[in-house]
């Protein structure tokens, strides 16, 4: 399970995150929602080690990884996808996933053939039809699946997904939701940033709402959806006048 405690990030004079704590228990999908600019991606970057927070700690399965570098944290079972796709454009879908499987194979004590793992994952995320295509030929929705496949190839214990459904159509999103539940039920802690509320409502056991760098509310999705504070965060506080 992932525990992030009291994370603060400062950009110049601007507090991007102030004292944010979030838990993602194993075996569940935990949602993280909030309006644009709330600091969701910044939180992901702080958790994975792409940026150094000014305060706060990150624990993975009870172990403190706050001082570890990016790749060391990854070796504790942390994997992620990116909101802005970070695909390897010179490579095919299969090779993209294979790179991750190879890297994982190198540091992981688990036995296994990265080639076999790659094929398994391609089938699992549903990319078999395009496995030989160069990734730049794919639409964004499938690009997101490649990123998910790469993350899964690292056999993560904690999986952070940054807007994985954007660019996917309704059918794709539905299938993606089922896939996420399946991944989580195999014991992975999934932390999901997503704007597609129907997906969040469907797959998340618990949802955190982030606004202006602070956690506004935590709770089961249905509860969060009814919370007036959350609605205000999304639609703006109605101070302008009477409705």
Partner 1 sequence: MEKFLIFTVVGLTLSATYAVIASGLVLTYATTGIFNFSQGAIGMVAAFAYWQLRFDWGWPTPIALVVSLGLLAPAIGLAIDRGIMRGLRGTSEATRLVVSISLMVALIALANLVWEPGRSRPMSTFFEGSRVDLGITTITYHQAITIVVAVLIAAGLRFLLHNTRIGVSMRANVDDDALVLLNGAQPKRIAGISWAVGGFLAGVGGILIAPTLSLEAGSLSLLIINAYAAAIFGRLRSLPLTFVGAIVIGLTEGYLAGYLPGDNQYFAAFRPAATVVILFVALLLVPNPRLRSRAHLREYFPPPSRSGMVMLAVVVVVAGVVLATTLDTVSLITYGPVFSLGIVALSLVPLVGFAGQISLAQLSFAGIGALAVAHHGHDGSPLGLVLAVVLAAAVGTVVALPVMRLTGIYLALATAAFAVALDRWLFNLPDFSVGPVHVRLFGLGSVSVDPLRILGHEFDSPAALLMLSAVVFAAVSLLVAALRWSRFGRQLVAMRDSEAACATFGLNLMWPRVGVFALSAGIAGLGGALYAMQLGSVAPARFDLLNGLPIFILVVVGGAGLVGSALFAGGILYGVLPLTATLGPVIAKINSLFPGFTGVGLGRNPSGAVPVFSAAAGPLRNDPVVLASMGVAMAVCYVLRLAEVFGNWAFVVLLGVALVAAMVVARRRSSSGAQGPGQGAGAGPDPEDLEWVGVTEPFTPAHLARMEQVLDLQSVDLEGAELDPVGGRDA
Partner 2 sequence: MSHGGNDAASTPRRLVELRGVRAGYDGIEVLHGVDLTVCAGEVVAILGPNGAGKSTTLKVLAGLHPASAGDVVIAGRRVNGATADALARRGLCLIPEGRGIFPNLTVRENLWMMTHAGVERPQVLERSLHCFPQLSDLLDRTSGTLSGGQQQMLAMARGLATDPALLVLDELSMGLAPLVVDSLYETVRQVADGGTSVLLVEQFARIVMDVADSAVLMVQGHVVDSGHPREIEGKLTQAYLGGQENP
Residues forming contacts to partner 2 in the complex (CB under 8 A) are: 12-14, 35-37, 136, 139-140, 166-167, 195-198, 201, 212, 222, 225-226, 230-232, 234-241, 243
Partner interacting with residue 162 (select from partner 2, partner 1, none; CB below 5-8 Å by kind):
none
- Of 79 and 203, nearer to partner 1 (C-beta) is 79
The answer to whether 50 contacts partner 1 (rule: CB under 8 A) is yes
Nearest-angstrom CA–CA distance, 229 and 43: 21
Coil/strand/helix, residue 221:
helix
Spatial distance between the Cα atoms of 68 and 203, rounded to a whole number of angstroms = 31
| Near partner 1 in 54-83, by CB under 8 A | 70-72, 74-75, 78-80, 82-83
Q: Residue 81, by phi and psi: left (phi above 0), alpha (psi -120 to 50) or beta? A: beta
CB 162 → partner 2: shortest distance, Å?
13
Q: Which residue's CB is nearer to partner 1, number 89 or number 186?
A: 89
CB atoms within 10 A of CB 106: 8
| CB-nearer residue toward partner 2: 49 or 143 | 143
Its sign, for the CA torsion 29, 37, 139, 113, is negative
x/- track of binding to partner 1 for residues 162-201 (CB under 8 A): ----------------------------------------
Length of the chain: 243
Burial class (CB in 10 A: 0-12, 13-18, 19+), 62: exposed
User: CA-CA distance, 10 to 228, in Å (whole number)?
Assistant: 28
Q: Is 88 in the site for partner 1 (CB under 8 A)?
A: yes
Q: By the criterion CB under 8 A, which residues form the site for partner 1?
A: 36, 48, 50, 70-72, 74-75, 78-80, 82-92, 95-96, 98-100, 102-104, 107, 132-134, 136-137, 150-151, 153-154
């Amino acid at each position: 399970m992932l525990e992030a405690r009291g994370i603060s990030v400062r950009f110049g004079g601007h507090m991007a995150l102030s004292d944010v704590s979030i838990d993602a228990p194993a075996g569940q999908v935990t949602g993280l929602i909030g309006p644009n600019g709330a600091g969701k991606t910044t939180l992901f970057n702080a958790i994975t080690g792409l940026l150094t927070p000014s305060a706060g700690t990150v624990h993975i399965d009870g172990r403190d990884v706050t001082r570890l570098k990016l790749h060391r944290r990854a070796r504790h079972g942390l994997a992620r996808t990116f909101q802005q796709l970070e695909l390897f454009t010179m490579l095919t879908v299969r090779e993209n996933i294979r790179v991750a499987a190879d890297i994982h194979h190198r540091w992981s004590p688990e036995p296994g053939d990265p080639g076999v793992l790659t094929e398994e994952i391609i089938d699992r995320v549903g990319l078999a039809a395009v496995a030989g295509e160069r990734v730049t030929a794919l639409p964004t929705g499938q690009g997101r699946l490649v990123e998910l496949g790469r993350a899964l190839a690292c056999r993560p214990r904690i999986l952070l997904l940054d807007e994985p459904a954007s660019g996917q159509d309704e059918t794709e999103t539905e299938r993606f939701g089922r896939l996420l539940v399946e991944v989580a039920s195999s014991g992975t802690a999934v932390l999901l940033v997503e704007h597609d509320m129907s997906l969040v409502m469907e797959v998340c056991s618990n949802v955190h709402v982030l606004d202006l760098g602070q956690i506004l509310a935590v709770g089961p999705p249905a509860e969060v959806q009814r919370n007036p504070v959350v609605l205000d965060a999304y639609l703006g506080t109605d101070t302008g006048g009477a409705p």
